[in-house]
Structures are given as structure tokens and as C-alpha cells.
Amino acid sequence: MEDRSIKEKNCKEIQALIPRYLSGTLTLHEARYFTKHLKRCRDCREEIEISYLLDKGLERVENGESVDLHADLEEMLNGTEEAITHLLQYRTAVYLIEFTAVFVLIACVLILYLF
């Protein structure tokens, strides 16, 4: 019972993010939370399938392209996950470089101060 109400609350939050996901304007944190939830929630998946169909699917049908809704969505979610992983790796690398730079700077100051 408790789990159910927590799930519904999460689903509302997730479903509110759908338009921004489709327009590519979620923050990294939101996108991570979003894809993680969608991977395991059928209700939200159905919601996004409808939105996706209305947003992108119709456009593609008009252009004469075939639409495999399920496969397209799966591909898009996997693409998002991959992009998030790359971004996080990139951010970790930047932090490491910054940390090293600060460390070298402190070492230089100490050496100047001590000698």
C-alpha cells in the first residue's frame, strides 16, 4: 500500500517531465531519474509512448517514414542513458583535472612559502 502511493507520486513527477524530455531540455539529474524510472515502469512507458507518438510519430508518418513506436522509444531511451554515462565520465575527468590543478597550485605555494 505504502509502496503503491510512493510509486504513484514518482509517476506523476515523471509524467510531468515527458514534454521536456521529448524537447531535450531536461537537466542531467532529471534525465537520469527519468530514464531509470521508465526502464521499469509500464504505466509511465505507456504515457510516454502516447506523447512520443503525438510529438514525433505523426511527423514521421507525414514524411512517409515507417514508425515502430516501441523500438524507436527503446532506442531513444538507450541513447539518453549512453549520453548520460558519457557526460558523467566527462565530468569526472574534469573534476580530476581541476583537483590536480588545485593540488599543484597548493604545492607550489607551499614550496615558495617554505623555501
**CB atoms near residue 18 (< 10 Å):** 19
Contact, 11 vs 44, CB < 8 A? yes
C-alpha separations of 17 from 32, 34, 53, 85 in Å: 12, 8, 16, 20
Nearer to Zn ion, 29 or 40 (CB): 40
> What's the closest the beta carbon of residue 50 comes to Zn ion, in angstroms?
14
Residues between 36 and 95 that touch Zn ion (CB under 5 A): 41, 43-44
Stretch that binds Zn ion, among 4-12, 54-62, 66-74, 86-94 (CB under 5 A): 4-12
What does R_g of the chain's alpha carbons equal in angstroms? 22
Nearer to Zn ion, 17 or 44 (CB): 44
33 is a site residue for Zn ion (CB under 5 A):
no
